[in-house]
A and B are shown apart, each in its own frame.
Chain A
Amino acid sequence: MHYLDNSATTRVSEAAAKKALELMTENFGNPSSLYSFGMRAEDELNKARSVIAKALSVSEEEIFFTSGGTEGNNLAVLGAVQALRRRGNKIVTTAVEHSSVYETASYLEGQGFEVVRIRPDKSGNFAPEDFRNAIDEKTILVSVMAVNNEIGTVLPVEKLRKYIEFKGSPAILHSDCVQAFGKIPLRLGKLGVDIATISGHKIHAPKGVGAVYIRKGLRIKPIYFGGEQEKKLRPGTEAMPLIAAFGTAAGELDIPKSYTKAKELKAYLLQKLSELDGVVINSPENAVPYILNFSPVGIRSETMLHFLAQREIYVSSGSACAKGKPSHVLEAMSLDRGVADSAIRVSFCSDNTTEDIDALVSALRDGMNTLVKRKQI
């Protein structure tokens, strides 16, 4: 098969899978238990925390494990807003956030908060001034993703701390780093964020685990209540098999290697796509090399997806999360309806090869020649 959908999810690495099994069948104690068998599990918890903290250039006490990106984003947005409710009621975010930020913001809108969603231009890029203009003293949360999952654009997160200070805003700065972690260098301290979200299954760890970074000294409100785990910020028995596997996978990351590989693959794909007639590239040039969004105009995404899947080539149409709904990201870019309806997203990992791309392009060519185009769109 040719798996080109790594931004949707990735295959768990051998080492990470082995680690998970070990924590299920051998070292299966509860880290909160008082006896030494539980302490052995706690060791693994600390190890994983340490590896991930190192990968983000932050300290261990700033990392809290969650069940994944969605929970992390909910905790960040709701927790931050609850903490600063008395200081203001405005939230500045973007129109291209993942639905776990987008929908949470909509929920808060319903609760009476003002939500400003900055839009990108037609190329998908953002003008930093738009954020500067929107942030003010009533703003209590600025939530901007680092890399967009659908088109791969890099957002100007590093500029936001300055704007917040300049405008005298009390805002907490949060960044959904799910698509950035393990792909591009992330030094969260330097980036200036207060909270960041990452997810395991995008970096060859199992699904069901993630983490949030919360800057030392910042207090946000938890959204779950119960036990003492994770400093009461995320109670519940720690998902050791998943967390340990997450740590193992994080330890295997080699960003320079992956980045270079992705660059080569993207260049190759762009070259081969240029040989086809009627393909529009939606991702801007300065997007990360791991993600490429393009449209074989005239053929509905879902149709092409099934066509490719029949040949065991797996890609996404728009966003993997939304079954059948038009992508709010492509809409925010004001893409032509016909282009948006036929958008395909390819996303690489280091296991992909030029053979995968050859198979994809060959199938695309066949599809574009044989599938009937819809006159409608």
Chain B
Amino acid sequence: MKEIVLAKVGEIVLKGLNRRQFEDQLLKNIRNCLKSLGSVEVKAAQSTISIVPQDEFIDLDEVCERISRIFGIATYSRAAVCDEKSLESVLKTAPEYLAEQLESAKTFKVEAKRSDKKFPFKSPEICRETGGKILQSFPHLKVDVHNPDLVVNVEIRDFGAYIHGKALRGAGGIPVGTGGNAAILISGGIDSPVAAYMMAKRGIRLTAIHFASPPYTSERAEQKVVKLLKKVARYSGNMNMYTVPFTEIQETIRKKCPEDYFTIIMRRLMMKISERIARDKKCQALITGESLGQVASQTIGAIACTDAAANMPVFRPLIGMDKQEIIDISYKIDTFETSIEPYEDCCTVFTPKHPRTKPVLERIEDAEAKGEFDEMIERALQNLKLTFINRED
């Protein structure tokens, strides 16, 4: 039986005049995402997108797996294509395709959608006939129109007739590329990959920025970040990662700045450098995984001091979330296991014994000025390393 995937678009239905743009971006994203699996036809019609494999060796499970991670899709389902667009064919296909689910269900109902108004039977009739045929083949079933175990969907569309069971939840969000560009400051921790995922969900195309301090941090820490970004890329699409050589700056902070300001000054310099990279790569915002109160450097005062170093919007999607909520998402997007691998990154290399939780901006700025970091910042920006993050292994 020929199978395809039908996907229903989400929020973009509400966008009015921009709708065409959003839809085009979504189709483009789907095509790019499925390209490596083989030849697939992707078409949109009446806020439903049909994904039709063109050759029989395409792994539809893999197709569905990838579709479940594309932003802009509200729900999706595997559907059987009826041999012909006729009621006869519908009646033959439905009980066959959904046999397994019908066997194990106790109650069912049929829902029909008819977008091709030329089809000779109206929706209620289609429901009645199909329901009847199913009761014939599965006599143990009863019809329940309020709360059935299984809903049998029949869709009569322009290009054919389709049968499918329950639709699965898609990734939600809006298509990547419709929200502009932003740069994510990524460490190997649990939070920043989750922040990246959440902003990509709102349509943002990501550029990643990572700070490395060899020999204090190891190559393995950087590899871990690449691994994490690859996982995010399954949702956000491929991206560029820029690694900033941060050793000189960290050693200088350590040597010239007061111990309880280490972390804040480090984060401020990271913001400054990131903003420069962001502007250069045509990004309009920065993204961080900061959450209020989680660690000493992320109290409201500390965040205010860090924020003052940036002159572009900084999105902090985790700011109001509990650690457990963040961990739950990290499990969902499959970054948790990788995040907890123990390779030290910049943020933990020189931690002060007693970090300032209520820092005063002027004092921080003064201490920072004494370090004379401008030249070092330029040097770091001259020596960025580019790694292309590809969702395919």
Contact = CB atoms under 8 A, between A and B. Distances in A.
Interface of A: 300, 302-307, 309-310, 323-324, 371-372, 374-376
A306 B259 CA distance: 25
B251 A372 contact: yes
Contacts of A324: 342-344
Interface stretch (B95-103, B115-123, B214-222, B303-311): B214-222
B353 A307 contact: no
Nearest to A370: B251
Given A324-B342, A374-B350, A303 B215 contact: yes
A372 B215 CA distance: 11
Given A302-B218, A324-B344, 18 more contacts: A300-B216, A303-B215, A303-B216, A304-B215, A306-B214, A306-B216, A306-B219, A309-B215, A310-B215, A323-B342, A324-B343, A371-B215, A371-B216, A372-B254, A372-B255, A372-B350, A374-B350, A375-B259
18 contacts: A300-B216, A303-B215, A304-B215, A305-B215, A306-B214, A306-B218, A306-B219, A307-B215, A310-B214, A323-B342, A324-B343, A324-B344, A371-B215, A371-B216, A372-B251, A372-B254, A372-B255, A372-B350
A375 B342 CA distance: 22
Which 8 pairs show the lowest CB-CB distances between chains A and B?
A306-B215, A307-B215, A324-B342, A372-B254, A372-B251, A303-B216, A303-B215, A306-B218
A122 B259 CA distance: 34
A153 B342 CA distance: 30
Contacts of B215: 303-307, 309-310, 371
Nearest to A309: B215
A18 to B, nearest CB: 33
A302 B344 contact: yes
B201 to A, nearest CB: 33
User: What is the size category of the interface that chain B forms with chain A?
Assistant: 10 to 19
Contacts of B216: 300, 303, 306, 371
A42 B182 CA distance: 65
Contacts, number: 30
Contacts of B342: 323-324
Contacts of B255: 372
B353 A376 contact: yes
Interface string B217-256: 0110000000000000000000000000000000100110
A303 B351 CA distance: 15
Interface string B196-228: 000000000000000000111011000000000
Question: Which label, helix, strand, loop or mixed, suits the secondary structure of the B interface?
Answer: loop
B383 to A, nearest CB: 15
Interface string B340-351: 001110000011
Interface of B: 214-216, 218-219, 251, 254-255, 259, 342-344, 350-351, 353
Nearest to A305: B215
A144 B255 CA distance: 47
Contacts of A371: 215-216
Contacts of B218: 302, 306
A307 B213 CA distance: 11
Contacts of A309: 215
A305 B343 CA distance: 14
A306 B215 CA distance: 5
Contacts of A306: 214-216, 218-219
A266 B351 CA distance: 37
A89 B255 CA distance: 57
Nearest to A310: B215
A325 to B, nearest CB: 8
Contacts of B259: 375
Contacts of A372: 251, 254-255, 350
A302 B342 CA distance: 12
A309 B220 CA distance: 13
A173 to B, nearest CB: 37
Contacts of B214: 306, 310
Nearest to B351: A376
A171 B51 CA distance: 70
Contacts of A303: 215-216
A304 B219 CA distance: 14
Please indicate which of the listed interface residues B214, B215, B218 has the most CB atoms of chain A within 10 Å of its own CB: B215
A192 B254 CA distance: 56
Please indicate which of the listed interface residues A303, A305, A323 has the most CB atoms of chain B within 10 Å of its own CB: A303
Contacts of B351: 376
